[in-house]
Amino acid sequence: MGKSGKQNKERNGSAAPHDTEADSEEGSDDDDEEKDSEEESEEGSEEGSEEGSEEESEEERQVRIAVPVAMWDFDHCDPRRCSGKKLARHGLCTAMRVGQRFRGVVLTPKGKKPIAPCDDEVVMISGLAVVECSWARLDEVPFGKIKGPHERLLPYLIATNPVNYGKPWRLNCVEALAAGFYITGHPDWAEALLAKFTWGHAFFKMNGHLIARYRTCNTHEEVAEMQETIQRELQEEHDRQKAEKRAYEEGDLLRANPNHVGEGWEESEDDEEVEPPKTDKFGNIIEAEVDKFGNTVGATNEDSDSDEERDDVEQLVAGVAGL
């Protein structure tokens, strides 16, 4: 027994590790599958989080402005319609107190020269600010307390906000900031601000051609000269359209047509000249004598056959009378 038992024990003992190994292999397979599924789920969650973070970062990139944007708000406007307050609610603009200085470019009606592409260096370092106030209450604004080292005017542009749509110069807060960013070469920042307003897209549509011309300049003097050129061209076009309208209303269509410049109405060839009445030496009108047939007595006729025709008629009448 000892030997057989020992053999059986060894056989059983050898069998046990074999079965255990098989079980462990099956168990390891199950563990591997679970591990793989966990890894896949983790990878999926990581991919989802990465996609989500990419979307978030993309959205952040669309609205993030890398420089300070600020305003002095004097509460002149209706808070529900104030573009500056709306930008502040979205975290795109910081309100400053009166007396606080701003080191960047300040857009203010009290500036001495227009903003120009050369101001980009200051904007990139210290940002852009604007005065949020009502155009009708400019006299109430203490401009002396909101000074900055780089005060600028906005050049000729047209407002597209609902309050002053179509009016030159009457830009609101967001339009002024967007114009400043456009002119200094940051259209993405300008669009990030305008995107918060349903009418925002209209600003560049209205002023894009003007902004493009200002962008061809570099210095403040060049922008000022370009502004004068633009205003002169607009005035000339206005005068031309006004003249055409006046000519149309007066009915002188031929004169208004550039294809007929210098031409007038041609005189009719059928118009007959009327001879003036004959007078004597005292200025009295001489009445012509007529015969019984209505012919002028003593009148000359250029027609060579007129005398013969008259003789024929007299003979015909005499013949009829003798019957």
3-state secondary structure the chain: CHHHHHHHHHHHHHHHHHHHHHHHHHHHHHHHHHHHHHHHHHHHHHHHHHHHHHHHHHHHHHHCCCCCEEEEECCCCCCCCCHHHHHHHCCCCEEECCCCCCCCEEECCCCCCECCHHHHHHHHHHCEEEEECCHHHHHHCCHHHCCCCEEEECCCCECCCCCCCCCECCCCHHHHHHHHHHHCCCHHHHHHHHCCCCCCHHHHHHHHHHHHHHHCCCCHHHHHHHHHHHHHHHHHHHHHHHHHHHHHHCCCHHHHCHHHCCCCCCCCCCCCCCCCCCECCCCCECCCCECCCCCECCCCCCCCCHHHHHHHHHHHHHHHHCC
Contact 114, 155 (CB under 8 A): yes
Flag whether pLDDT at 43 surpasses 80. no
Cα first-last separation, the chain: 193
pLDDT in tens, 136-164: 566 666 677 677 889 999 999 999 999 89
Contact 156, 227 (CB under 8 A): yes
In the chain, what percentage of residues exceed pLDDT 70?
Answer: 53
pLDDT in tens, 106-131: 998 888 999 999 999 999 999 999 98
When mean pLDDT is compared across 11-20, 128-137, 238-247, the lowest value belongs to 11-20
Q: Domain extents for the chain?
A: 69-241
Give residue 146's pLDDT.
75
CA 274 to chain centre: 64
Scan for tokens 């349903």, then name that residue: 198
CA distance 22 to 18: 6
Annotated binding site: 83, 131, 154, 169
Give residue 84's pLDDT.
85
Q: 202 vs 284, which has greater pLDDT?
A: 202
Annotated binding site for S-adenosyl-L-methionine: 83, 131, 154, 169
Contact 229, 210 (CB under 8 A): no
Go through 272-287 and write b for each residue having 16 or more CB atoms within 10 A of its CB, e for each that does not. Answer: eeeeeeeeeeeeeeee
Q: 253 vs 289, which has greater pLDDT?
A: 289
For 302, how many CA atoms within 13 A lie in the half-sphere containing its CB? 0
